[in-house]
A = this chain, B = another copy of it.
Amino acid sequence: MFVLDSRLQKDTHPVANLPLCELLLMNDSQYPWLILVPRRVNLRELVDLDEHDQLQLTRESNVVAQLLLEQVGADKLNIAALGNIVAQLHVHHIARFAHDPVWPAPVWGALEPVAYTPNALAERQTLLCEGLHRLAPHWRQ
């Protein structure tokens, strides 16, 4: 049975259950940062997904990318499956800006996270869910 990695659980807030993935919001208000985690067990690498799941992950990644580009804009998206610290397969989607605090360096490990306030978190989660319903109305969340 799929169980979300404890570190991911601790560091993020849930946004939605997509057809293949859990969509999570990293609890770091310095960057708009979403994470897709396929609900599959014992996967570490993208190449471990079967062909059907890879296609679905691409679809979900496209929707998350569009969501970020539409809602917050971005000078560049950073999309990455690293997993050097958390082994469970997960894919980062981060909206980067030329004025963000570590641009153009990668964000991982760069700064201590700054948690969302409860209000900012609720607002962001609502916006994301609305955006998902609009971009992918056929996905029940």
Contacts and interface: CB of A to CB of B under 8 A. Distances in A.
Contacts of A78: 80-84
Secondary structure dominating the interface of A: mixed
Interface string A53-84: 01100100110011001000001111111111
Contacts of A109: 105-106
Contacts of A2: none
A85 interface: yes
Among A44, A55, A83, residue most surrounded by chain B Cβ atoms (within 10 Å): A83
Interface residues of A, number: 31
A11 interface: no
Among A54, A76, A87, residue most surrounded by chain B Cβ atoms (within 10 Å): A76
A45 B65 contact: yes
Given A55-B55, A105-B109, A108-B105, A65 B83 contact: no
Contacts of A108: 105-106
Contact of A82 (B69, B80, B83): B80
